[in-house]
Amino acid sequence: SEIIEFPVVMVDVRLQRAVAEFHHFVKPKVNPKLSEFCRQLTGIRQEDIDNALPLEDVIRRFERWHAQTVPPGSRTMLATDGPTDLKEFMYIHSVSRQGIRFPSMFYQWIDVKRFFAHFFQCQQGKIKAMLDALNCPFEGRLHSGIDDARNVATIVIRMLKLGCSFCEIPLSRLPYGATATTASLVAPEITTTATETVKLDKNDTNASSS
């Protein structure tokens, strides 16, 4: 398994809205030919991958975008729909197996499924189930990385408006230098494709306690 799409939606916690996006396809090293199943599931075309940059270059572009987008004095915290994106695709498959470097911010994150279940005292659910519970429509294509990221951002924004500070339970973490075996114990297996960042303003009371 390799990362083939790198979608990020930035949410301003103070403004409670999405303020920026970063989106790149990624050229895989091990399996450059997409399977029919993958193309049908994600909507990603072979030409999207053929014309994409390697993951290392996409990460560098993300770092430049992040530095240019986040105002001075603010900080960001990643938020994902479960642990799979960062625990498996980022750490096990990219860092551990391929030796690819990720910024330190990728080693701790808000697991939106866990926070949603804790905040509403319910079972953990998928993106569509969380949106349904919030009376929000699913926008776009399921399993499209950028569409999933936008929908997870919608969930985050709605939860912020309902009073969730995203500091009610501990963040999910991967320690620097951890082995793949150690990393696999961080959280249960949950399949996901969405990633987004939540921008935390240093003057925002919710953000300062995260």
Give me the pLDDT at residue 210, please.
27
Positions of the chain with pLDDT under 70: 175-210
Q: Which helix (H) or strand (E) holds 155?
A: helix 145-161
d(CA 116, CA 108): 17
Any idea which residue has 């860092």 for tokens?
A: 95
Q: Give this prediction's pTM.
A: 0.82
The first and second tokens of residue 25, run together, are 């396809």
| Burial grade of 166 (CB within 10 A; 0-12, 13-18, 19 or more) | buried
Check if the beta carbon of residue 167 is closer than 8 Å to that of residue 154. Answer: no
Q: Does domain 5-173 have CATH number 3.30.420.10?
A: yes
> Tell me, what's the pLDDT at 175?
66
**pLDDT score recorded for residue 188:** 26
Tokens of 115: 């926070």
